A and B are shown apart, each in its own frame.
Chain A
Amino acid sequence: MKKVDVCVIGGGVIGSAVTYYLSKTNKSVVLLERKAIGSGSARATFGLLTIQLFKYFGIIDSYLKITEESIRMYETLEKELGASIQHRRTGGLVVIKDEDNYKDRAEMVSSLKKRNIDIDILDKKQTIEIVPNLKSDGVLGASYSELEGEVNPLMLSDAFVRGALKNKAEVVSNDPVASVLVKNGKIEAVNTTQNCYQPKYVVNAAGMWANEIAKMAGIDVPLRMQRGQLILTEPVRPLLDMVIQLVPPPTIDDVGNSIVLSTEIRQMINGNLLMGGTRDYDEANTRTTLAGIKSIAKRAASIIPLNKNINVLRAFSGVRHIPEDGLPIMGFDRRVDGWVNAVMHVGITLAPVAGKIISDLIDTGRPSFDISEFLIDRFYKK
């Protein structure tokens, strides 16, 4: 039985970030990863740093604040960690072809501008100015933010882990958590397949397995799973210097839902084109499908002209784990003493700030930012 201050469960972008920031405090921390660092959803995300999500759940000031802060933290993260994450502030463009979306987005932009966020709504002409080779048929305009950018998600978790290891944190791989012993609402033990820990705190950063882990402690985390497929091409000559997302008019999916199947494309540092994606509701596996692969290839080609001979090297997918209202689930879980939630949909953008907030919460008892709207209680309030 190993006594430790904190057990962080899940070696993805959130868990590794939490472990890193905790390693800078005098709290002892062990990161428990079931397989390999970054082997969960962390390895199959688009890698966007985005601030334009407010279209989907309205502007929540506390969320806006932590998003801004996280994006700011990225500016110096590589230097601090001493590890490359291929971070670039490329600017993010969301091209819109849907009337309603354009209207909503214009409203969102003006609200964000009032809060001093660097974002603009562009008309068609201005959009084409930014991306001269854009396929402009049906384009109404775009929202553009200089704050947005990208990282290589494959390197992010490991970069945090390297930093944590330098600060003498313990990182365990290939050792899934098998059970959690909770007595009288207190954590007694966390048992992995090879070890037993007696932590004061447990951080549930298990991403798509967060609910499974929570259940071991007799609680839960309400998440909806949604698979997103991606395809990657061989390196090509410089074609794109920013991330472009395309929002088309809504369509009906095969189960009758009205969905907006947006498409993203960006060019990675090595020259590969990364294209996404799909929204495969309730698929909690990492398969890719014939229909998904073809759909992405077709839609990506509707954004900018793509040479038909560019070779696709691989298709892969990751599972988005989305809390019901889209907002992160962070903070103490009152149902079990010492249990801390760190589960969110927008992991890449929020990883640094989430890591810092959870670390501060555990170290000082108070989070460094207002997370009252992210507590898990909100799902259980009558």
Chain B
Amino acid sequence: MKQVDGVIVGGGPAGIAASIEMTRRGLSPVLIDENDMLGGKVLKEKEVLWAHPPNRFEYKIKKELFDQFNTISNKITIVKNAMVWGIFDGNIVAYSSVVNGKNISTELKAKKIIIATGAIERSVPFEGWTLPGIYTIGGLNSLVKEQRNFSGQKFLIAGAGPLLLVLANNLIKAGAEIEAIVDASSFLEVMLKSPSLVTCKGPLWIGFRYLRNIRRHKIPILRSRVVTSASGDNQLERVVITKVDKNWKAISGTEKEYSVNRLAVGYHLAPDTGLTRLCGCEHLYDKKYGYWYVKHDSNMATTVPGVFVAGDGASVLGYPAAIAQGRITGLAVSRELGVLEEEGWSEIQDLNRQLKKLEKFGSALRDLSAPRAGLFDSITDDTIICRCEEITFKDIKQAILSNNVTDVNHLKRITRSGMGHCQGRYCGQFIGKIISLLTKTESDPGVFTVRYPVKPIPLESLWDE
């Protein structure tokens, strides 16, 4: 097994920043990314097809990052199209890739590991949410950058969070028809958060420009409303939008139907904690935003020695924070390996100060966009909870009642929720909440146990010599 100084899992802004800092100190990290292009979701190396060029703020950050990266990239081992499927014993990184047409698994023994695998979009089920034509916000955003033809497609964007505006703008640039943007948060709330939002002028200014563009195209922005159901004959044909109270609970009698055949709905992001859980890192539950995140110190070190975390996979604060966190991990790893110069130590503190500022902005965004309990009131008996296994809310209710289930893994065993291809990434987000609501208990329903492989891998990759 090859021994390496450091493995960075994830070639997004955080991973790239970490690799820059490590290489500056003479280390030779291995940077592994699932895609064929580095940059994660936002700062892609090269723009895909005809997608809009980045705005000025984004462009500046991206150029700075990639300029630095390109000067040292020949000193890093960059492995693209490779998926880290497990980390064993806290230091063996196993990744699967295709080499000469064959699926193989490669293992590296790493002195230090930086996990920078990003976030996953938060969903809340509603009746009909599994119909073709319904996407997450980020999902449609990725697809729209490559899609070339939108004729006959009528879009509605719903949910909450800054990504709604980003998506709307990309759809406008693509020439797609948007029926409306439906935001669960109220105008008043956004205004109340403005003191925190103005702390980051760059993103705020972009937000205003997006809003201006949306208004210019006469696309209505409806606030305090959510999608409560979607229907159609094996594809989306209409959605029902309903007004909500401040807990995002639907106010009956305010339903309005829209004939649209494309819907994007999402509630911002939560860290994807698959690998950090597999490693045995301790996680904390953020009660306010309702998600788990990996516990880390100001060096971005987790509770497992030698394992660090950075970027949206650590805390969802956007890519400027991801870069700062990536830099911190690169510096911290260099320090642990004894190659960090004295000035570097104070750089970590500077970056932490930067992060504090960004945290204020990030928290404000989270306040406005994290899913609220009222959304669960719209779930009906027929609403599918586990998409992969087609388990409905009724199935879950029955299982909970007849077997006194209070634990998510127990529910998983008897209903099969969480056993499909997505490995519980979607239903796992809200099944604990559903148990708590149905059993009315305060006890912690737990989280789905994460198992190897962290994402599905072909048998062939396990058959190596």
Query: Measuring CB to CB, which residues of chain A are less than 8 angstroms from any residue of chain B?
Result: 35-39, 43, 154-155, 158, 161-162, 165, 171, 173-174, 233-234, 270, 288-290, 293-294, 297-298, 301, 306-316
Taking a contact as CB atoms closer than 8 A, the residue among B405, B443, B459 that contacts A233 in the complex is B459
Residues on A with beta carbons closer than 8 Å to the beta carbon of B420: 313
B190 within 8 A of A: no
Contact with A along B336-354 (1 / 0, CB 8 A): 0000000000000000000
Q: Is the CB of A308 within 8 A of B452?
A: no
- The answer to whether B409 has its CB under 8 Å from any CB of chain A is yes
Please determine whether A297 and B407 come into contact, CB atoms closer than 8 angstroms. no
- Nearest residue, chain A, Cβ from B454: A314
Given A38-B413, A155-B414, A173 and B459 touching (CB < 8 A)? no
Cα A233 to Cα B405 with chains together (Å): 26
> How far apart are the CA atoms of A307 and B464 in the complex, in Å?
15
User: What is B's interface to A at a CB cutoff of 8 Å?
Assistant: 86, 88, 92, 94, 103, 105, 107, 402-407, 409-410, 413-414, 416, 419-421, 423, 443, 451-453, 456-460, 462-464
Could you name 7 residue pairs across A and B whose Cβ atoms are closer than 8 Å? A39-B410, A158-B414, A173-B404, A288-B451, A290-B94, A308-B103, A313-B419
Known contacts A36-B405, A154-B414, A313-B421; A234 and B443 CB within 8 A of each other: no
B94 cross-chain contacts in A, Cβ below 8 A: 290
B459 x A314 contact (CB < 8 A):
no
Contacts of B404 in A (CB 8 A): 165, 171, 173
Residues of A within 8 A of B403 (CB): 37, 158, 161-162, 165
Which residues from A are CB-within-8-Å of B409? 36, 39
Contact between B459 and A309, CB atoms less than 8 A apart: yes
In the bound complex, CA of A293 to CA of B419 (Å)? 18
The docked-state distance in angstroms from the alpha carbon of A312 to that of B452 is: 9
The smallest C-beta distance from B411 to any residue of chain A, in angstroms, reads 9
Please indicate the chain A residues that have their CB under 8 angstroms from the CB of B414 in the complex. Answer: 154-155, 158
User: Is B456 a contact of A234 with CB atoms below 8 Å?
Assistant: yes
Q: A36-B407, A158-B414, A288-B451 are in contact. Are A301 and B459 (CB under 8 A)?
A: yes
Contacts of A270 in B (CB 8 A): 416
* Given known A39-B409, A158-B413, A162-B403, contact A288–B459 (CB-CB < 8 A): no
**B443 / chain A contacts, CB cutoff of 8 Å:** 174
Q: How far is the CA of A289 from the CA of B107 in the complex (A)?
A: 13
In the complex the two chains form, is B457's CB within 8 Å of A311's CB? yes
Q: Rank and list the top 7 A-B pairs by shortest CB-CB distance, nearest first.
A: A308-B460, A297-B462, A36-B410, A311-B456, A154-B413, A314-B451, A36-B407
Pick from A35, A37, A290, A310: contact of B458, CB under 8 Å? A310
Contact between B413 and A155, CB atoms less than 8 A apart: yes
B404 to chain A, nearest CB (A): 6
Known: A310-B459, A311-B457. A290 touches B407 (CB 8 A): no
* A312 in contact with B451 given A161-B403, A290-B107, A293-B462 (CB within 8 Å): no
Residue in chain B with minimal CB distance to A172: B404
Q: Do most interface residues of chain A lie in helix, strand or loop, or is the interface mixed?
A: mixed
Are A312 and B456 neighbours in the complex by a CB distance under 8 Å? Answer: yes
Distance between Cα atoms of A288 and B452 in the complex (Å): 8
Are A165's CB and B402's CB within 8 A? yes
Given contacts A165-B404, A294-B462, A308-B460, contact A315 B453 (CB under 8 A): yes
Q: Would you call B458 and A309 a contact (CB within 8 A)?
A: yes
Given contacts A288-B451, A297-B462, A311-B456, contact A173 B406 (CB under 8 A): yes
Contacts of B88 in A (CB 8 A): 289-290
Q: B423 to A312, Cβ gap below 8 A?
A: no
- A19 to chain B minimum Cβ distance, whole angstroms, is 13
Which residues of chain A come closer than 8 Å to B421, judged between CB atoms?
234, 311, 313
CA distance A307 to B107 in the complex (A): 23
Closest chain-B Cβ to A275's Cβ sits at a distance in Å of 9
Q: Which residue of A lies closest to B441 (CB)?
A: A174
Q: Which of the listed residues B409, B452, B453 has the most CB atoms from chain A within 10 Å of its own CB? A: B452
Contact A298 B423 (CB under 8 A): no
- When the two chains form their complex, are residues B459 and A306 in contact, meaning their CB atoms are under 8 A apart? yes
For A310, give the chain B residue with the smallest CB separation.
Answer: B459
CB distance from B391 to the nearest CB of A (A): 12
Instruction: Identify the closest chain B residue to A270 (Cβ).
Output: B416
Q: Which B residues are in CB contact (< 8 Å) with A288?
A: 451-452
Contact A312-B86, Cβ < 8 Å, known A36-B410, A155-B414, A174-B443: no
Shortest CB-to-CB span from A300 to chain B, Å, is 8
Instruction: Identify which of A39, A174, A290 gathers the most chain B CB atoms within 10 Å of its CB.
Output: A290
**Contact indicator A162/B410 (Cβ below 8 Å):** no
Selected from A43, A310, A315, the residue in CB contact (under 8 A) with B413 is: A43
A207, chain B: closest CB distance, angstroms: 16
Query: Are B462 and A298 within 8 A (Cβ)?
Result: yes
With known contacts A36-B409, A39-B410, A290–B86 Cβ distance under 8 A: yes
| A173, B409: Cα distance in complex, Å | 13
A194 to B242, CA, bound (A): 45
Closest to A298 in B: B463
Instruction: For A316, give the chain B residue with the smallest CB separation.
Output: B451
Min Cβ gap B243→A in Å is 40
Once A37-B403, A155-B413, A158-B403 are accepted as A-B contacts, the answer to whether A297 and B452 lie under 8 Å apart by CB is no
Q: Which of A158, A161, A312 contacts B453 (CB 8 A)?
A: A312
Bound Cα distance from A205 to B241, whole angstroms: 53
Closest to A155 in B: B414
- CB–CB B459/A297 < 8 A: yes
CA distance A165 to B403 in the complex (A): 8
Q: Which of A35, A306, A309 meets B407, CB within 8 Å?
A: A35
Contacts of B463 in A (CB 8 A): 294, 297-298, 301, 308
> B452 — which chain A residues lie within 8 A by C-beta?
288, 293, 314-315
A289 to B456, CA, bound (A): 16
